[in-house]
Structures are given as C-alpha cells and as structure tokens.
Amino acid sequence: MRNQHKTTLALLLILLVSACSSAQPTEAPAPTAAHTVPSVTETLALPSETPTPTNTPVPLLERAQYKMDTLIDYDAHTVTVTETILYPNLTGNQLNTLVIAIVPNLWQDSFSLTSLSIDGAPTTTYSLAGQRLDIALSSFVPAGSLIEIGIQYTLALPFAEQEDPGVSRPRIYGYTSRQLNLTNWYPFVVPFINGEWVLHEPWVYGEHLVYDAADYEVNVKFVETAFTPIVAASGVAEPQADSTRYTITSARTFALAASREFQVSSTQVGDINISSYYFPFNEAGGQAALQTTAESVQVFGQKFGPYPHKSLAIVMGDFNDGMEYSAFFYLSKDFYNLYDGTPANYLTFVAAHETAHQWWFEQVASDQALQPWVDESLSAYSERVYYESVHPDLVSWWWTYRIDFYDPQGFVDIPIYEGQGFRPYTNATYFQGAKFLEKLRERIGDEAFYAFLQDYLAQSRGKIVTANDFFRILSQHTSADYSDLVRQYFQNIYQ
C-alpha cells in the first residue's frame, strides 16, 4: 500500500495526535569492529531540508509485513527472491531515510541486488556497503504512515566451512554437503531506537543483530521438480499447486533449512505441532530432541507464559553449534553424535536452552550485541527450570557439569565485543547469569520470582527491552534488597 496525500486542516490535526512508537531504549551505541566486506555503492541523495509532510498518518499496521516469493535451486545453491516489505512508521518520528540489514552481503558475491523500489517507484538513491543498505527517501514520511519497499535479488550461497568455534563462530548461512540453510538471508528494516537505526557490526562469537517483530509470508518453490528436498521452516506450511507457503505472525526472523537426507518425527503439544529433522543414523538423538523440546514447551508455558506460534522446528545442523530463530532452532550434529540415551547430556540441555529462546529472544527481544545477557542468562537458567520440573534428580548434575565445570568468572553484562574469547564470554554471559538468577530466586522466593518472569514476559512481549526494563519490572515484584547481587555480578548498576 502507498501513502495517501491529503492537505486539509483536519487531516493535519490527525498528524499531530496519531504518532506512536513501539521502540524501546537501548543503553549505548555499538562499538565498531574491523571487517572487510564487499560493497555496492550508488549516489546517496538526501531529501530537501525543508520537510513537506503531506502524507496522511494512518496507523495501518501493527508491525511490518514481509512477503518473499522464493525460488531455490538446491543443486546450484542459488536463491532468487522477490520481496515486498510493508513498513509502518511507528517510530514517532518523521523519516527521511531507511536502514536495511542485508547480512548475506558480508560474503563476497553472495548477494546481488536486481532492483529496489519505494512505494512502487524505482530508486537509485541508496548506498550498500557490507551488511548495511541506506536508502534516502524522496520526501519525509510522517509518523503513522506506511512505506512499501520492493526488493529483487539473488543469493549465491557460500559453502559453510566450519572452523574452530573458539576462534570463529560456526557458519550456518549457506550450504554443506547434505544441507542448505537460509538464516538472516533476506533484507529487513532494522529497529529505530532513540532516534538511531540499530545495526551493529558482527563479531567472532555471539549475535549482533536486533530485530523488530514482524509478520511473514514466504512462498517457496524449488527448481528441481523431482527429488526435492525436505524443508524445515519457521511458520505453518500450506501446500500450494507448485510451491509451499509459510506464514508466521509477530516473529523476529524467518529461517529455513532443506535437505534430501532429513528424516522427520513430530508430536503435538496442545495445538502446537513440533517436528524434529535429523539425518540418518541419528534417530535416537532426533527423538530425544523432540521429547525434550515438547517437555520444555509444556514446562515453560506453565512457568513463564504461553508459546506464541502453532509450529516449532528442531533441526540437526551440519555444524558445531546451536542457534535460535523464530519457531525454529538448530542443534549441533556433535550433540546428536554424542547422545548417550539419557537426559544427562548436551543434546538435552541445549534443546531446552534453544526452546527457552522462544520466550527469551522470540517473544522478549533485546540488544544481543550490547546486552546479550538479557536473553542468554534467562535461557541458560531455563535449562535448570526444565531439569527441576522433568528430571529433578539431575539438577545437581546439571549445575556441576553444565556450569561449575567451567569455573565461570566475570561480569554478566558485557557486550559481545568485550568477551575476550568465546569461553570467557560464555562463562560470564550464560553461566554467571544463571548463578545470579539462582541467587536472586533464593533471595526473593519462588512465588515472587515466577510472578516477575510472567509479568516480564507479559509487559515485554513483542518489544525490544533493555537491562533497565528487566530490573524495573523485577522491582515491582519484590521489596527484598538484592543490590549486593547486582554489585557482585554486574559491572553497571541498573535502576
């Protein structure tokens, strides 16, 4: 849809009263990191300094909508996409630029832009460098207006070569000999917070992207008409005549994995379909991941609040890491290969961890680069909540094997850029965070602790929160003094 042009006094009054904002504040600007990336640059022209906001501000959408018509050549490792973004200006500010993340452009020759349009009109007033696309708009867009962004592009997927995870984070986007992975693969409008577009630099570990909630419709078609791969994806699948449509609402991301080798097992938890995708000879691990995830959905639904979607995909990744996306997560092939048939193993507690991210990432988002603990500490501690609920005899084992074995040190609230390596970063952000939450729970009691988490979810669902929001909501549920714990575990004092 396009902005409507009106000039009457009555509609100008609507402009004054209809501005709204769904953004949440962040703490500090991102540190920069040296990173050599390919770039495509065209002349960047800014609109006139004198704003002429003639667009009628109408709150047309609750959040952005993404539609991708996607053609995948599985054997050639290429993807052709026609994408439409309907972006409602909910920032509370008039906009003269847009910033779009294009993560595939971090890989040389992986992203090729075919065309770009704003409200149906082709535009060349943009600059693309690395993962950042800056678009200069031809006129100011008032708060409450709707912008339509059209993007056509192709992806040449890179081979996801695996390196030492202590040196470089595992590669997911791309393909391996038995799997194709589309993660952070489409252009998306980054959050606008405190007057700034938020797009941090990637780092060798941790996540750097921040996501607004959005609605997705992704139509997937394969060039291959025979022996097409099995697909795991965010959202509910609806078969069409020659394609499959996937839809998901109020999601942070849309991820997809495809393989001709996938085997699939499914179960139902209420109205939620949970499916486990795994490779041959890993059925025991695939079934265990399915069971743990189903149990976690039940436990976290009772302890924190309801799971928001109708599907959840668990995917065996042909790489050495776990990673969360909306209604979708990966578990490392190593976890499956080391599965010993008991719940006292990596596969089980990482499955619980990644499931917890469907609450502490998917529903409650945060700045994963500057305040990674806000989701990672809660997800790590949710493993403990899972074990005490399902395998109470293994809680002591979990603390010893998962946490204390690494003798975690450091402040919980470090940015990814200050972690001093993967293990020190994980020890501080995940494991020290879990220890803090355990001591906090002991200090304020179970009733207040879970009342806080439920209210934290309820107040923050669909938003991007900060550490200050975490402690603000916590203070509403206890009068206990926990300031000593904050001083012990955090380098900053939060209000």
Note the pLDDT tens digit of each residue in 328-381: 999 999 999 999 999 999 999 999 999 999 999 999 999 999 999 999 999 999
Q: How many domains would you assign to the chain? A: 1
pLDDT at residue 20 in the model: 35
Say whether pLDDT at 149 is over 80.
Answer: yes
Query: What DSSP letter does each residue of 240-253 carry, written as one string?
Result: -SSSEEEEEEEES-
In this structure, is residue 26 part of a structural domain? no
| 24-33, 91-100, 142-151, 304-313: least confident range | 24-33
pLDDT at residue 320 in the model: 85
The answer to whether residue 226 scores a pLDDT higher than 80 is: yes
Q: To the nearest whole number, what is the mean pLDDT of the chain?
A: 89
Q: What is the pLDDT of residue 231?
A: 98
What pTM did the predictor assign?
Answer: 0.88
Condensed to tens digits (0 to 9), the pLDDT of residues 254-292 reads 999 999 999 999 999 999 999 999 999 999 999 999 999
Residue 3 has pLDDT above 60, yes or no: no
Q: Is residue 436 part of a domain?
A: yes
* pLDDT at res. 321: 83
- Residue 105, pLDDT above cutoff 50: yes
Given this model, what pLDDT does residue 491 score?
95
Contact of 361 with 324, CB cutoff 8 Å = yes
In a domain, 172, yes or no: yes
pLDDT over 70 percentage in the chain: 86
Q: Is the pLDDT of residue 467 over 50?
A: yes
Q: Do the bridges between strand 174-175 and strand 192-193 make them parallel or antiparallel, or are there none, so unpaired?
A: unpaired
How high is the pLDDT of residue 223?
97
360 domain-assigned: yes
- If one counts every other C-beta atom within 10 angstroms of the C-beta of residue 477, the result is 18
pLDDT at residue 168, as a whole number: 66
Which of 347, 429, 343, 358 is closest to 391 using CA atoms?
A: 343
Average pLDDT over residues 89-104: 96
3-state SS assignment for residue 149: strand
CATH, residue 324: 1.10.390.10
- Residue 128 included in any domain: yes
Mean pLDDT of all residues in 243-252:
98
In angstroms, rounded to a whole number, what is the distance separating the alpha carbons of residues 152 and 69? 10
On whether residue 10 sits in a domain, the answer given is: no
Q: For position 495, what pLDDT does the model report?
A: 61
Residue 52's pLDDT is 41
Expressed as residue numbers, the domain containing 246 is 61-489
pLDDT higher than threshold 70 for residue 2? no
CA distance 376 to 356: 9
Contacts of 175 (CB under 8 A, 6+ apart): 77, 157, 158, 159, 160, 181
**DSSP reduced 3-state for 317:** strand
Question: CA 144, CA 89: separation in Å to the nearest integer?
Answer: 5
Poorest-pLDDT segment among 33-47, 98-112, 436-450: 33-47
Share of the chain above pLDDT 90, in %: 83
Neighbours of 218 (CB within 10 A): 25
Mean pLDDT (whole number) for 434-459: 98
**Does residue 32 form part of some domain?**
no
Q: Which pLDDT belongs to residue 47?
A: 37
Token duo for residue 57: 């501000």
Distance of CA 250 to the CA centre of its chain: 12
The 10s digit of each residue's pLDDT in 312-335 is 999 999 998 899 999 999 999 999
Over residues 410-430, the pLDDT tens digits come to 999 999 999 999 999 999 999
Q: Which residue in 256, 251, 250, 252 sits closest to 237, CA to CA?
A: 256
Is the pLDDT reported for residue 469 higher than 90? yes
**Taking the alpha carbons of 349, 437, 210, 490 in that order, is the dihedral positive or negative?**
negative
Running DSSP on this structure, what letter comes out for residue 403?
I
Q: pLDDT digits over 15-66, tens only?
A: 323 333 333 333 333 333 333 333 333 333 333 333 444 444 444 799 999 9
> pLDDT for 164-207, tens place per residue?
666 666 789 999 999 999 999 999 999 999 999 999 999 999 99
Task: For residue 333, tell me if it sits in a domain.
Answer: yes
Could you tell me the CA-to-CA distances from 246 to 221, 240, 254 in Å, in that order?
11, 10, 9
